[in-house]
Structure 1
């Protein structure tokens, strides 16, 4: 149980808890919204920068790789920082780091500089990593334990709302205000037009920076309930005779998360370039950015559908069915053309929706006192999104449409995991894990 707010005695803490927790969760939900929103802006930023800097697909997907490399390297320092300064100050620090990176994006646009852009995206992603490491366990323990799942579903929905709105924001304020974003596919921009297009990110990232600073001020001044000892680690003595590597569901689950992220991020970041092609959607990048909203919206809808199905059907079965469906629509994306290929790629968002949380849950099943360590490995595996540059290399060598065969192969690994890899071995008595990190 979380400690009561320090401003009240025990009796007052109990009576004031519902009001305090509701306000705290509302504020924390805004964090989930913001990091979902900022992460998905990359989907419109990628085609924009590809046009401004005349990048290859490899160079363009390197943008997302830098993002997830930051996630990998910043996670352990984030945990140490939280241990030193506490959760509330860490949330504020994460927001301010993101604000600095967003302001730096304005600088990168003014130069303009591809290298500075990559560095500033690394800074923003590092701030998001700190928020992820701090906010997820906080949401799990604040309030009554029996309602933890309800709280986590609520904030995850806010994350999905952010991912849905970000493409509209990016399409309007970035692609819609640039020559490259509104020109026909294949249009060659002059040097002056590229310089002018680079300035298009100044306004949106300026707005983001302001919102992040304001949110940091609010959280710094808000009386968040204390965490207490709710997330303290299991004593080393209790884990001495156990090994993570004896649990097949975790051993195969870590690469499942890693590989799934390659698929999800590859689809999201090459979506606009693919849909805008003359033989697919025949539209501008700005118009294609609006369709990206449907991809992320499908992920939100799919989570509700999957949650309902898992009330009556084993999660392994649901995961297998969704992975088969995702594999089939990716084959349609690769070998069809026109609107059929476009809508197939949009539909894969629906089937990707349950993969991350379901794999995560299956992977920690039966870990007992090793659950926290196993969860840490799964969080680190999110860095698989950094390998999206592999799809960029395939696109440069064999064509953008054929590169989605990599996504199809990723779906097959998820199917393998659902059918065999997820079966627990050497299961230990479970500890309650009431939350998983967002995708």
Structure 2
């Protein structure tokens, strides 16, 4: 097995590092995909419209832009293993901030808690993505990231189910008609009661993160050597130049493609519950699991097909084209008929959903291989600029902050279904990057 990208004391193969990194991806998925259930929950607790509710996504994902470069600088000083440990500590602090937020019911404190959680996750992402790319053969990097995606999106399936069971039980008391029938004091008391349900889960989450922090700290995880195999000639002799990463169009354009990808991924995963609630879907709190289920299917296909049967670039081409097709399905299909989900999932006993919601969930299938394919294509040939390139790609996650806000505005001024047209050009951009942008090496 190829391990030459690790320093000589760490020629232990890739299994142990992949187990630890898989654990980190599961934690990231657990925290990230909690937002899909948290958004409609906070919409009730804090009396929000769609645009205001999507500030949850903004506060969470904007941290990736604000904290990416500081995270890269910190990793350069303390190393990747200590960076992962520090990231888990920051995330634990963010989880603890949810306790005063839940007790006060103040939306601003919830947003601070989310930003703090995501700041720790930014440091984690900046460390683990280049680590998993460089730990083995470059041509199989998308396969390894797909395996990591199974951990990440597997958590995304579990989280809405757990959140629904622990937090969303008895929600008929908090429906809009039920709240409207109460006076102002009664509504306030009921919302405070609902908010208190978050205290115990986030306390447990903070404790779990601290346990994982200790596990990583005392593990035998080794530092990767990011330069040994693919250091470019200009970097090998002159060192890393300020802003030198911008000389590489494949990573700059890759960051733009990731900006669009994360935006549409967040829309597909985090707004499906809001959309289902608008359409009267009874089990709207678990709809994120539908999207995550299709993402897991996509990752399984990536593990099975890449690189033996399909290249990373081909996977990205199919993802962009499939995204365009499914967006058309979301925007143009029926909000009342449910024939598509009955045919495809009825045999498994999965509750039917309107066709337009089902196509939104199917975007998970198109989204699954975008992240695994863009990372190795974008980091190819960066050598000593790999850490800077990783930070640049992480900054692209800001798309998850901005694009869903645009959807929320369009959903309020037009309709939730028409708002999904905002995703179409971003899938077109992903397709263009796969066809042309990822091949560029000079501007």
- The interval holding the TM-score normalised by the smaller chain is 0.7 to 0.9
Task: Report the alpha carbon displacement of residue 123 of structure 1 after superposing the two structures with TM.
Answer: 0.6
Deviations 1:98-153 (A, max 9, x none): 11111110110001110011001111111111222233344456689999777655
TM-score, normalised to structure 2's length? 0.81
User: For the Cα contact (< 8 Å) 1:141–1:227, is it kept in 2?
Assistant: no
- SS class of match (1:175): coil
Is 1:348 the counterpart of 2:363 in the alignment?
yes
The alignment of Structure 1 onto Structure 2 pairs a total of residues equal to 409
User: For the Cα contact (< 8 Å) 1:141–1:230, is it kept in 2?
Assistant: yes
Alpha-carbon distance in 2 for matches of 1:227, 1:367: 18
Alpha-carbon distance in 1 for matches of 2:323, 2:224: 43
Change in CA separation of 1:231 and 1:100 when aligned onto 2, cut-off 3 Å: farther
Residue matched to 2:119: 126
Residue matched to 1:173: 166
- SS class of match (1:330): helix
Larger CA deviation: 137-146 vs 200-209:
137-146
Change in CA separation of 1:34 and 1:361 when aligned onto 2, cut-off 3 Å: same
Task: Report the alpha carbon displacement of residue 378 of structure 1 after superposing the two structures with TM.
Answer: 2.0
Residue matched to 1:424: 440
User: For the Cα contact (< 8 Å) 1:142–1:225, is it kept in 2?
Assistant: no
Change in CA separation of 1:376 and 1:236 when aligned onto 2, cut-off 3 Å: farther
Matches within 5 A, 1:40-439: 40-139=33-132, 152-176=145-169, 178=171, 183=175, 188=180, 190-222=187-219, 224-227=220-223, 229-230=225-226, 234-235=235-236, 237=238, 248-278=249-279, 282-284=280-282, 287-307=283-303, 308=305, 311-336=308-333, 337-338=335-336, 339-365=354-380, 373-387=388-402, 388-426=404-442
For structure 1, the 5+ residue unaligned runs are 6-12, 428-439
CA RMSD between the two structures: 3.2
Deviations 1:299-357 (A, max 9, x none): 12112324516534454444333322222222221222122112111111111111222
Change in CA separation of 1:369 and 1:94 when aligned onto 2, cut-off 3 Å: closer
Deviations 1:53-85 (A, max 9, x none): 111211111111111111111122222223333
Task: Report the alpha carbon displacement of residue 273 of structure 1 after superposing the two structures with TM.
Answer: 1.0
Residue matched to 2:6: 2
Deviations 1:161-197 (A, max 9, x none): 222212212222222365567x478964722211111
User: For the Cα contact (< 8 Å) 2:227–2:383, is it kept in 1?
Assistant: no
- SS class of match (1:276): helix
- SS class of match (1:297): helix
- SS class of match (1:404): helix
Alpha-carbon distance in 2 for matches of 1:145, 1:320: 19
User: For the Cα contact (< 8 Å) 2:263–2:401, is it kept in 1?
Assistant: yes
TM-score, normalised to structure 1's length? 0.82
Change in CA separation of 1:277 and 1:259 when aligned onto 2, cut-off 3 Å: same
User: For the Cα contact (< 8 Å) 1:43–1:271, is it kept in 2?
Assistant: yes
User: For the Cα contact (< 8 Å) 2:250–2:437, is it kept in 1?
Assistant: yes
Change in CA separation of 1:180 and 1:54 when aligned onto 2, cut-off 3 Å: farther
Is 1:35 the counterpart of 2:28 in the alignment?
yes
Alpha-carbon distance in 2 for matches of 1:151, 1:315: 12
For structure 2, the 5+ residue unaligned runs are 337-353
User: For the Cα contact (< 8 Å) 2:82–2:217, is it kept in 1?
Assistant: yes
User: For the Cα contact (< 8 Å) 2:133–2:376, is it kept in 1?
Assistant: no
Change in CA separation of 1:246 and 1:406 when aligned onto 2, cut-off 3 Å: same
